[in-house]
Chains A and B, each alone.
Chain A
Amino acid sequence: MDTNTADKLHHNIACSFCGLCCDDLTVQVENSQLRITDNGCDLCQAGFSEPLPPTAAVNRQPQINGHSCSLDDALARSAGLLRDSRQPLFGGLGTDVAGARATLQLADRIGAIVDHMNSAAMMRNILAVQDSGWMTTTLTEVRNHVDLMVVFGNGIAERTPRFYERFFNNAESMFGHDTRQRELVLIGASNDNELVQNSSRITRFPCAPEQLGTIAMALRSLVNGKSLQTENIAGIPQSQLLELVQRLRDARYSVVTWNSSELDFPHAELTVQACCELVKDINIESRCSALPLGGSNGDHTFAQVATWQTGYASRFSLASRKPHFDPLLFDGERLLSEQEADLLLWISAFDTRRKPPLSAVPAIVLGRAGMQCETSPEVFIPVATPGIDHSGHIFRCDSIAVLPLQSLRASGLLSVAAILQAITEHL
């Protein structure tokens, strides 16, 4: 890995600020200030260019109850709190592979409950998979094969800004297809059509998020040759859905996508499942794949590491010498509001805005330097950001590619892994 941290231009840098993990960025470094000069998007520009607080600033110092302290004191205090806790919760968990490994090692040692800050969104996909599985594809596959793309929900441009640029409007495909002929279908309240450069045909079926599942189920029935008893499905004439079904059947390689983080309504996993079952049934005759998009704050990274180390992605407990998963019981927000946890260890190394939920439970916060908590936690330790202040690894949203992250400046801040290691030594 390139660890030359002098002021300069860095090429082929990977971005950790959404699940696409674009790795074609050029980043300019001047006096520890970063700027994306090539490729990238607003989201990543904001993530990379957030200024490092001055060395003397409070939120670049370890604190105990809001007062600056030495790192050693902060570590010792953290270790003491962890030792005394009867039911610790490890939340946030915005970190890289090394941070996830260190988190799980410590959680296993002290018997913590583990829940990532994005687990509500993660669970919508995971519960659907646990119930019936799915057929999916990955980004390079989409970039080269897709000829019909169906987007469920409010669009994917906001949370994965470069998706269309890199995977739909790409200039050429491996198989010599004219990518300008690609077709896009938007089901939901999406304005993605404004971003798409060259699709020959964009079809929109506006609907409320809660109706997405109904539409997916109706499409599935039609794919299976069943007729529906009603003329309109969520306001869409059956004839239009039939026409879409025909296009899905005729497509060389259709892709159905959604971002589970915006399906924020009760039992949204059933909507995900409806999309997945639709995809499976199209594959009886032709090819179609699901592409679950989204991701931020190392959620896919944490999910992957936790799954191989414990069997579960999030919302599990290591309290009983055996991983125990329960998506309701071990929901971190619930544990905090019900005060079922007596200590929170909150980790957010990418995003200063992802602060611990307000609660009466005492907290140790490992936050990206510059994070300003509403109320002072018991302990605050500023941490380095992976891919900016230190090298590391992050998983892309398709959980197939693992991108290396580089150290781009010497901030003197310690990584989450290093701090958790040090806390463990204080235990």
Chain B
Amino acid sequence: MLIKLTAGTVYDPANGVDGEVRDIYIRDNHIVGTPSADEKIDTEYDLRGKVVMAGAIDLHTHIGGGKVNIARTLLPEFCRSEPGENDTRPRSGCSRATPSTLLAGYRYAEMGYTSAFEPAVLPVNARQAHMEMADTPILDTGGYAMLGNDDFLLRMLSTGAEQQLINDYVAWILHATQCVGIKVVNPGGISAFKFNQRKLDLDETTPYYNVTPRSIVSRLSQALYELGIPHPLHVHASNLGVPGNFRTTLDTMEAAAGLPLHLTHIQFHSYGTEGDHRFSSAAAEIAEAINANHNISADVGQIMFGQTVTLSADTMHQHANHQHAHPNKWVCTDIECEGGCGVVPFRYRDKNFVNAMQWAIGLEIFLMVDDPWRVFLTTDHPNGAPFTSYPHLMRLLMDRSFREEMLLQIHPEVAAHSRLAGLTREYTLYEMAIMTRAGPARILGLKDRGHLATGAVADIAVYNVDKNRQRMFECPAYVFKSGELVVRDGDIWNVVRGNTHVVRPEFDSGIEKSLSDYFDRYHSIRIQNFRISDDEMANHIGSPVMVTDCIARSNR
């Protein structure tokens, strides 16, 4: 099958292509070079006047694993009105903030997304996360396994284990859980909450283990660096949502000591304490630090006004925030001496000063971080807003006058207390393609995604040009997944199944012996049943694995 995409205007930053009119050829699943003149083109799409980009990649979105199901169970009202009765998608589904898996897949594809990564995979719950992602059609997926509140790692740190052993454990977890990266959430804090501690700063020690969050971040980032895992340690820093937390965030950057570090939903970690409300924007300090430290990347976790639900492994802070629950109901769970989960529904209000500032802080970070390769477009779905608000967010970033119009509608003090009004930057299509395609592919080590050169997987989104960027990104003319047309004029055309990205770092399997004994003594599952095999992924879970290379480095 040979497809020709004729004369589209191509934005392909990974290959330095900035709005050039080009033809693209697809053979089966991949992009190929210009075929010889005698080869028959099976299908041709006339893309004159249309914008062509690689399929978009969301590197942080909560679309799989137990916490979303907890939110779905807690909030049946989210399902009642959404979508409408006349929905014509292939399988039924419901909810915007907690979409059922099939609907999530359709909706992502309908915006031109072809890959999404679940950032909070609890190792013990990894099967469920992969099952849900396998039931999220069209998208390729991947997960980041959560460490840093698990007894085994904290125990190793507290007994001064050598870095090599930590590396082996991290590598083993990646294999066993079929994940592509490692995330740490409120390092040590979720464990501390189980010992009834309600607050943990970066340099405080955890109960029982006596280790600091700083050491957890530095040892884990060291492990990922030495194992050669492409994606840096994905950090949900300490003190989520706490006014004044920007200092913790800056200190966390420092804890990486120059090693790559990704700070997630950094908007929630960029708060100062100035002004009458004791709540202010520290976006400038945070953006300055990102600009100065090339080892640091971040996704924003933009909030949007309206009803959503916050889901986080950070039980310490979710429990503290439960009095803000709207509607007034919430769930917190301690999980398997490994992590936790807190689900608190929330309505962001544009006339509420703090919420309106959160909105402004997120946009400030987007606009003040100079390098679009190191900042990523997320709403931390659904924590800041459902992922379906991405086109609106794109318009806010690409259209200054629209942004200023919006700023006038929210709490009046925000304009005075943030720099947003003075930020004239408008993201270009090229920068948007970096932030949502080339950048995520690069930071995940995905060599054949996020770009449109020969050899890339044919994940392609084609948009009609529209000055209203929201309308443009809401409704692609065509979306191809692995060379198959899946969306036409914004509607699902054809459904394909995705695969799972994984990494396979090398490690000394001697670690399995101590782990096996440890599982038998303390856990409720045998190690043999904990590990997920490739056969399970392909034949039972339903999402075969695709391996991204790791190149081990000697320690620094």
Contact = CB atoms under 8 A, between A and B. Distances in A.
Interface in B340-355: 343
Interface stretch (B15-23, B121-129, B474-482): B121-129
B196 A404 contact: no
B57 to A, nearest CB: 22
A300 to B, nearest CB: 11
A287 B194 contact: yes
A145 B73 contact: no
A363 B550 CA distance: 55
B48 interface: no
A318 B92 contact: yes
B194 A145 contact: yes
B74 A108 contact: no
A311 B79 contact: yes
Contact of A144 (B68, B128, B193, B522): B522
A1 B536 contact: yes
B92 A308 contact: no
A320 B93 CA distance: 11
B18 to A, nearest CB: 40
A113 to B, nearest CB: 13
A294 to B, nearest CB: 16
A308 B135 contact: yes
Interface in B281-320: 319
B523 A308 contact: no
A97 B69 CA distance: 15
Interface stretch (A67-75, A85-93, A263-271, A393-401): A393-401
A98 interface: yes
Contact of A308 (B72, B336, B535, B541): B72
B94 A310 contact: yes
A323 B334 contact: no
Contact of B337 (A98, A133, A140): A140
B36 interface: no
A141 B336 contact: yes
A322 B521 contact: no
A308 B101 contact: yes
A321 B131 contact: no
Interface residues of A, number: 65
Contact of B85 (A97, A138, A320, A400): A320
Given A136-B331, A166-B524, A400-B66, A144 B337 contact: yes
Contacts of A132: 328-329
Contacts of B135: 101, 308-309
Contact of A133 (B74, B132, B194, B523): B74
A143 B524 contact: yes
A316 B258 CA distance: 53
B319 A139 contact: no
A403 B122 CA distance: 15
Contacts of B526: 12, 23-24
A320 B85 CA distance: 7
B240 interface: no
A174 B528 contact: no
Interface string A314-348: 00001011110100000000000000000000000
Interface residues of B, number: 66
B79 A323 contact: yes
A325 B76 contact: yes
Interface in B89-119: 91-95, 98, 100-102
Contacts of A325: 76, 79
B540 A307 contact: no
B83 interface: yes
B335 A400 contact: yes
Nearest to B209: A175
A286 B195 CA distance: 9
B337 A311 contact: no
Interface in A2-61: 11-12, 14, 23-24
A131 B328 CA distance: 9
Contacts of A175: 208
A20 to B, nearest CB: 8
Nearest to B336: A140
A40 to B, nearest CB: 14
A145 B334 CA distance: 11
A97 B536 CA distance: 12
Contact of B95 (A130, A311, A402): A311
Contacts of B536: 1, 404
Which of B72, B94, B343, B525 neighbours the largest number of chain A CB atoms within 10 Å of its CB? B525
Contacts of A402: 125, 127-128, 131
A260 B203 CA distance: 44
A383 interface: no
B502 to A, nearest CB: 18
Contacts of B73: 126, 129-130, 307, 313
A289 interface: yes
A189 B128 CA distance: 36
Contacts of A98: 540
Nearest to A101: B135
B529 interface: yes
Contact of A310 (B100, B193, B319, B521): B100
A140 B523 contact: yes
Contacts of B522: 140, 143-144, 172-174
Which of B69, B101, B122, B541 neighbours the largest number of chain A CB atoms within 10 Å of its CB? B69
A243 to B, nearest CB: 21
B326 to A, nearest CB: 12
A400 B95 CA distance: 23
B332 A307 contact: no
B93 to A, nearest CB: 7
A401 B125 CA distance: 6
B92 A108 contact: yes
A5 to B, nearest CB: 16
Nearest to A3: B535
A287 B337 CA distance: 15
B333 interface: yes
A300 B337 CA distance: 21
A139 B132 CA distance: 22
A67 to B, nearest CB: 35
Given A129-B73, A309-B135, A311-B72, A137 B529 contact: no
Given A140-B525, A321-B85, 5 more contacts: A139-B336, A172-B522, A307-B69, A401-B124, A402-B131
Which 10 pairs show the lowest CB-CB distances between chains A and B? A402-B127, A311-B79, A133-B329, A140-B336, A139-B524, A133-B330, A137-B334, A12-B528, A12-B526, A140-B524
Interface of B: 66, 68-69, 72-76, 78-79, 83-88, 91-95, 98, 100-102, 122, 124-125, 127-128, 131-132, 135, 151, 193-196, 208, 319, 325, 328-338, 343, 521-526, 528-529, 533, 535-536, 540-541
8 contacts: A132-B329, A138-B336, A140-B525, A144-B337, A311-B72, A322-B84, A400-B336, A401-B336
